[in-house]
Amino acid sequence: MNALKVIIYFSIFKYPLKKEEIFSFSSAKIIQDIEFELAGLVEKDIIFKHGDYYSDVNDTSLVERRLRGNKMAEEIMPKALKRGKFIASFPFVESVAISGSLSKGYYDNDGDIDFFIITKPKRLWFARTLLILYKKIFLLNSKKYFCVNYFISSSRLNISEKNTFTATELLTLVPVYGKIVFNAFLEKNKWAHDFYPNKFVNKEHLLERRKKPIWSKTIEILFNNKFGQNIDVILKKLTLKKWKSKFKHLNKDNFEVAMKSTNDVSKHHPQDFQNKVICKLNECYDDKNKAFNLNLTLENA
């Protein structure tokens, strides 16, 4: 990715970037190449610079918005890390990472704390159901600080959708628990560096796997058998049936991506954000191409 494409991508989220951030999401060999490109883009009024931040929109309020969001993210991160460790205590959970906007250093009053969770094989739907029940019963179904919307099992660590959006989400994860499993996940998804060769996951909060509490270990022992596997299959079927009824607005192809439900993957993204971002990105590329006679490659969903 060149500097302009990086800026356009993050402009979808109204998020101006510093030159160091642009470099980390680019394919440039050295940051001086980015500095040279940025200077040319600013001179031609293709992008705009406000202080240390670059955007494709000449609007200083976006920088102010970002700075407020960065400050709120710093304030909420300790709570998110604590919640992540709590999620890790649940049966059959092997690794937990913070995802979404908070993992990129931004949070506002309308945001949620999203979590990406890796479970033991053949117990994904069991683990997911326990976490959802906790949210419904003890958090009154509030997802504000407990949005568990993406699960995979450790037997299928490779992410099948390979595009700019998934690469960005993957490499901005903030892992908090399950070092061995999470590192195996990164190893299986090296393809993300084809999009961002300069970007690496921040592991400063990543802890080794700890012993589960007694209640969690007891559940794992009781259901670590064929009976537990059968329950997992039943829970998957029940959840999928409910989702197909509830989210009829999604066509078949979009449903299979946004609400992916297999033995090893559970996604709950009814707003189909991945597809919307890719479509919006292509529109932005097209607009820039028309306005400035550029040659920006369209992304594949």
pLDDT digit string (tens) for 220-259?
999 999 999 999 999 999 999 999 999 988 888 889 888 9
Long-range contacts of 53-56 (CB under 8 A, 24+ apart): 53/16, 53/17, 53/18, 54/3, 54/7, 54/16, 54/17, 54/18, 54/19, 54/22, 55/7, 55/11, 55/16, 55/17, 56/4, 56/7, 56/8, 56/11, 56/284, 56/288
pLDDT at 1 over 70: no
Q: What is the pLDDT of residues 140-163, one digit of tens each?
A: 988 888 999 999 999 999 999 999
CA 113, CA 27: separation in Å to the nearest integer?
30
pLDDT at 94 over 80: yes
Q: Average pLDDT for residues 4-19, to the nearest whole number? A: 95
Residue with tokens 């829970």: 235
Q: What angle do CA 67, 70, 71 make, to 5 degrees?
A: 90
> What is the per-residue pLDDT for 300?
61
Q: Average pLDDT for residues 54-70, to the nearest whole number? A: 97
Dmax (CA) of the chain: 66
Sign (positive/negative) of CA torsion 163, 111, 183, 19? positive
Q: At 21, which amino acid appears?
A: E
pLDDT at 301 over 60: no
> What is the per-residue pLDDT for 99?
97
* pLDDT, the chain, mean: 93
CA 220, CA 120: separation in Å to the nearest integer?
10
For residue 149, which phi and psi values (nearest 5 degrees)? -120, 5
pTM of structure: 0.93
CA 11, CA 237: separation in Å to the nearest integer?
39
> What is the per-residue pLDDT for 146?
93
Buried b (16+ CB within 10 A) or exposed e, 44-61: eebbbbbeebbbbeeeee
> What is the per-residue pLDDT for 266?
96
* Confidence tier at 298 by pLDDT (50, 70, 90): low
* Confidence tier at 85 by pLDDT (50, 70, 90): very high
Q: Are the C-beta atoms of residues 14 and 277 closer than 8 Å to each other?
A: no
Identify the H or E element spanning 266.
strand 265-267
**What SS3 state is found at 169?**
helix
pLDDT at 295 over 80: no
- How many CA atoms lie within 13 Å of 93's alpha carbon, on the beta-carbon side? 29
CA 267, CA 23: separation in Å to the nearest integer?
30
Q: Average pLDDT for residues 123-133, to the nearest whole number? A: 98
CA 63, CA 17: separation in Å to the nearest integer?
9
> What is the per-residue pLDDT for 239?
96
